[in-house]
């Protein structure tokens, strides 16, 4: 596809469960970002990949959150032992270069019951 694709669009899970959220960036974009957005707020940075490596993971809130991008394309955000406070929309973005224009996906809405 032409844009950033995120799956699932909606995920409802129970407290304590493990969740994976997937992002397929625009073809050829080397930079990939994960953000989290709560209702009425702007997105908050989680992690940034340049190629396969996590260049900046300073936004990850704690060690329950982890992200990978093994082949430099698709990325997966993994959340262990989910808590109700993890409920939010998780947004993925990609960019042709690290200082370029970011293009966002539609997001994955996570609800932890």
Partner 1 sequence: KQEVTQIPAALSVPEGENLVLNCSFTDSAIYNLQWFRQDPGKGLTSLLLIQSSQREQTSGRLNASLDKSSGRSTLYIAASQPGDSATYLCAVMDTGRRALTFGSGTRLQVQP
Residues near partner 1 (CB under 8 A) are 4, 31, 33, 35, 40-45, 48, 50, 55-56, 58-59, 91, 93, 98-107
CA distance 43 to 23: 16
CB atoms within 10 A of CB 51: 13
Residue number with CB closer to partner 1 (58 or 62): 58
β-strands 108-112, 10-13: how paired?
parallel
Q: How far is the CB of 69 from partner 1 (least distance, A)?
A: 14
Q: How far is the CB of 49 from partner 1 (least distance, A)?
A: 10
Q: How far is the CB of 56 from partner 1 (least distance, A)?
A: 6
CA distance 69 to 73: 6
């Amino acid at each position: 596809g032409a844009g950033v694709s995120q799956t699932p669009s909606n995920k409802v899970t129970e407290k304590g469960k493990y969740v994976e959220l997937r992002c397929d960036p625009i073809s050829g974009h080397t930079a990939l970002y994960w953000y989290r957005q709560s209702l009425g707020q702007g997105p908050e940075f989680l992690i940034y990949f340049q190629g396969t490596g996590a260049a900046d993971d300073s936004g990850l809130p704690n060690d329950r959150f982890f992200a990978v991008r093994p082949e430099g394309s698709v990325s997966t955000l993994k959340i262990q032992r989910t808590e109700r406070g993890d409920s939010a929309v998780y947004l993925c973005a990609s960019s042709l270069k690290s200082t370029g224009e970011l293009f966002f996906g539609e997001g994955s809405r996570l609800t932890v019951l």
